[in-house]
Amino acid sequence: MAKVTMPLLSGSASGKIAGSMVHFGWKGLNVVRQLVTPSNPKTAGQGDRRLAMAAAGKAIKPVAPTSLFLPYARAFATGGQTWASALVNYIVKTFLYGSGHTAYDAAHSAYNSHGAKAEFDTDAALLGMTEYSNTYKGSANVAEPGFQLYLLARACAAIYTADHTKFNVSPCTIAIGSWTSGNVDSFKTLISAV
């Protein structure tokens, strides 16, 4: 039900009217728009996109505000983006989006076959990272904590490979396929609070 106010030759309304319009205040103006009820069909494609976005978003979560990693992440962000949005955008576009869930599954396969997978899993648990999944995704994989940490590490190594002025700090200067357990531990230290 809408609330209408009419003091001294001015009018305002707020709320929905007749299930078709919504009146509300915005930046000091009284505005109206069509009432739109969002659809959430929970298709496999939608589930895969949410899985990819969640994996990338959760990958940056353990970066501490006082970490040695943060200045490098801030230097990577350009065009008014925050460091977090720049890294999430890079991870999603570079590693996770493809036809259906094939790119996500390929990234997950690379993580599963990595020589230091156990260390990614252990360090992610120590950082307090949590798993994400949804019931309607097309991919058989989930976003495990170790996979999330792997995505962040892979992004830093890939960014350095493309431009040696970005993430020019060890172990990001080493190709991700060559990382050892020691490199994963160094990366955990890099993103942790100083």
pLDDT tens digits, 158-168:
999 999 999 99
Which domain, by its residues, includes 16?
3-34
Are 178 and 131 members of one domain? yes
Q: Residue 28: left if φ>0, alpha if ψ -120 to 50, beta else—which one?
A: left
In this model, does residue 118 exceed pLDDT 90?
A: yes
In this model, does residue 3 exceed pLDDT 70?
A: no
- Residue 105, amino acid: D
Is 155 within a domain? yes
**Does residue 10 or residue 137 have the better pLDDT?**
137
In this model, does residue 98 exceed pLDDT 80?
A: no
pLDDT at 153: 98
Are 82 and 171 members of one domain? yes
Backbone torsions φ then ψ of 175, nearest 5 degrees: -60, 135
Is 39 within a domain? no
Is 10 within a domain? yes
| Alpha-carbon gap, residue 83 to 27, rounded angstroms | 28
Sign, CA torsion 103/112/148/63: negative
Are 59 and 130 members of one domain? yes
Are 130 and 184 members of one domain? yes
Structurally, the chain folds into a number of domains equal to: 2
